[in-house]
């Protein structure tokens, strides 16, 4: 899925949960002290949907235990939910909840799940709000060198040596299709009229995405990774390498630095205004 579903320790579990929540557009922190009527309570992960009308608040208990979580933990968590005024509560662990604990959470705003189930729950949001925009924005900066008509590129091309012109055409031919398609990864947020068919549907799993999609987009590359985050890092590195190759040909970056269209950073979407529906 997004990350390794079996983190090494509870700190990695906390950090992983916080990172995914931030990636999808929530303000999220780890180890937050919240004041209650009984004193300060330490929350493993505290998150707020800052764009929601009511500023929905999430608290997450992370248990990297080797056994399912018992009902006593859920009882304590219910008290914390009540005293902190949280809207949604998650208990995330390696092996989920014991049967009695599951029964106790029915008809409540508390959900117990494994880290894998947590990732599955938010994968579509992560894909649309984070994975695709980052790839699209990064590919757009490479597309400037490849697109058919670009005055600034064409003017700089005229000053290239014959040898560098040959290098440019070779690199452009090799990467043209890949870069063009990668630059369409966030097309739905720009124009719903752009149609990529089923190519960019939310993938079922990583192996299927590699075999059916990336094999078409980048047939000259083997993607060796075990998670979608690992894949994202490798695609961004690939795009950065291609951009560097073009810059080497032209003697540097010939385009003015501009903000990303989506405004999504490596942390996640901006925490103000609305960039998704």
Q: With bands split at pLDDT 50, 70 and 90, how would you rate the model's confidence at 37?
A: confident
From residue 254, alpha-carbon distances to 181, 192, 277 in Å are: 23, 31, 35
- For 179-196, write each residue's pLDDT tens digit: 999 999 987 555 455 555
Domain ranges of the chain: 10-120, 125-250
pLDDT over 60 (residue 101)? yes
Instruction: Tell me which residue of 48, 214, 72, 211 sits closest to 131, measured CA to CA.
Output: 214
From residue 189, alpha-carbon distances to 32, 135, 136, 137, 150 in Å are: 34, 13, 11, 12, 24
Mean pLDDT of 257-271: 90
150/145 Cα distance (integer angstroms): 8
- pLDDT value, residue 194: 52
CATH for 10-120 is: 3.40.1350.10
Q: What is the mean pLDDT of the chain?
A: 92
Q: Are the beta carbons of 228 and 2 closer than 8 angstroms?
A: yes
Instruction: Tell me which residue of 84, 91, 79 sits closest to 40, measured CA to CA.
Output: 84
Q: With bands split at pLDDT 50, 70 and 90, how would you rate the model's confidence at 109?
A: very high
pLDDT over 50 (residue 277)? no
- How do 27-36 and 39-48 pair as beta strands? antiparallel
């Amino acid at each position: 899925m997004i990350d390794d579903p079996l983190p090494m320790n509870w700190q990695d579990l906390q950090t992983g949960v916080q990172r995914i929540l931030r990636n999808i557009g929530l303000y999220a922190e780890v180890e937050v002290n919240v004041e209650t009527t009984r004193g300060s309570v330490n929350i493993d992960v505290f998150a707020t949907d800052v764009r929601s009308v009511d500023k929905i608040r999430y608290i997450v208990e992370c248990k990297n235990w080797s056994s399912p979580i018992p009902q006593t933990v859920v009882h304590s968590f219910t008290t914390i939910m009540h005293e902190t005024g949280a809207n949604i509560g998650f208990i995330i662990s390696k092996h989920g909840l014991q049967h009695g604990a599951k029964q106790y959470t029915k008809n409540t705003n508390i959900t117990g799940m494994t880290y894998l189930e947590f990732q599955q729950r938010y994968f579509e949001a992560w894909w649309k709000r984070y994975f695709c925009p980052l790839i699209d924005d990064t590919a757009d900066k490479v597309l400037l060198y490849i697109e058919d008509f670009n005055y600034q590129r064409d003017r700089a091309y005229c000053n290239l040596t014959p040898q560098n012109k040959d290098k440019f055409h070779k690199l452009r031919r090799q990467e043209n299709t890949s870069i063009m398609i990668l630059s369409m990864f966030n097309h739905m947020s720009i124009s719903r009229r752009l149609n990529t068919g089923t190519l960019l549907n939310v993938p079922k799993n990583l192996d299927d995405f590699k075999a059916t999609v990336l094999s078409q987009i980048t047939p000259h590359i083997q993607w060796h990774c075990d998670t979608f985050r690992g894949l994202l890092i490798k695609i961004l590195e690939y795009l950065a390498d291609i951009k560097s190759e073009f810059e080497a040909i032209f003697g540097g970056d010939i385009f003015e630095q501009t903000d990303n269209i989506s405004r999504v950073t490596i942390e996640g979407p901006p925490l103000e205004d609305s960039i998704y529906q």
